[in-house]
């Protein structure tokens, strides 16, 4: 089953405005995540402008139909973060419930979880 990584491409970390400002931190992280997920059939990526987690940017969401879903934040826009996010998304895709045992979390995602969302009900 497919797991989606939704990446906030408008996230700006503290001090962003002192750099070259060619792209937001969210755009930089999105490019790295997209590159790390290239060719993976179980993980897809998409961008969204503003996930409303500005206090803890850079933010991403891990989602899969019928599974627990997660918001993670406070990532640096670097290759280590991107690889950890994609690796976690792969384990999420392989999990029936979306729950991944802590021992299987990549180090790069530990301490970055913000919220867990239950799957939407199948019926009303």
Per-residue confidence band for 14, with pLDDT thresholds at 50, 70 and 90: confident
In a domain, 124, yes or no: no
For residue 53, give the CATH number of its domain.
Answer: 3.40.30
Q: How far apart are CA 99 and CA 76, in angstroms?
A: 24
In a domain, 50, yes or no: yes
Q: What's the length of the chain?
A: 124
Which element (helix H / strand E) includes 81?
helix 79-94
In a domain, 74, yes or no: yes
State pTM to two decimals. Answer: 0.93
The total number of structural domains in the chain stands at 1
Each residue of 29-58: pLDDT tens digit? Answer: 999 999 999 999 999 999 999 998 888 889
Each residue of 54-105: pLDDT tens digit? Answer: 888 899 999 999 999 999 999 999 999 999 999 999 999 999 999 999 999 9
Question: Which residues 6+ apart lie within 8 Å of 76 measured at CB?
Answer: 13, 58
């Amino acid at each position: 089953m497919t797991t989606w990584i939704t990446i906030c491409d408008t996230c700006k970390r503290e001090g962003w405005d002192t750099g070259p400002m060619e792209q937001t931190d969210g755009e930089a992280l999105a490019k790295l995540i997209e590159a790390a997920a290239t060719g993976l059939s179980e993980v897809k990526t998409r961008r969204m402008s503003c996930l409303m987690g500005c206090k803890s940017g850079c933010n991403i969401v891990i989602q899969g139909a019928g599974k627990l879903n997660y918001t993670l934040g406070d990532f640096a826009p670097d290759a280590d973060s991107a690889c950890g996010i994609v690796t976690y998304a792969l384990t999420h895709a392989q999990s029936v419930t979306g729950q991944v045992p802590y021992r299987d979390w990549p180090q790069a995602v530990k301490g970055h979880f913000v919220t867990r969302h239950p799957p939407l009900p199948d019926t009303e």
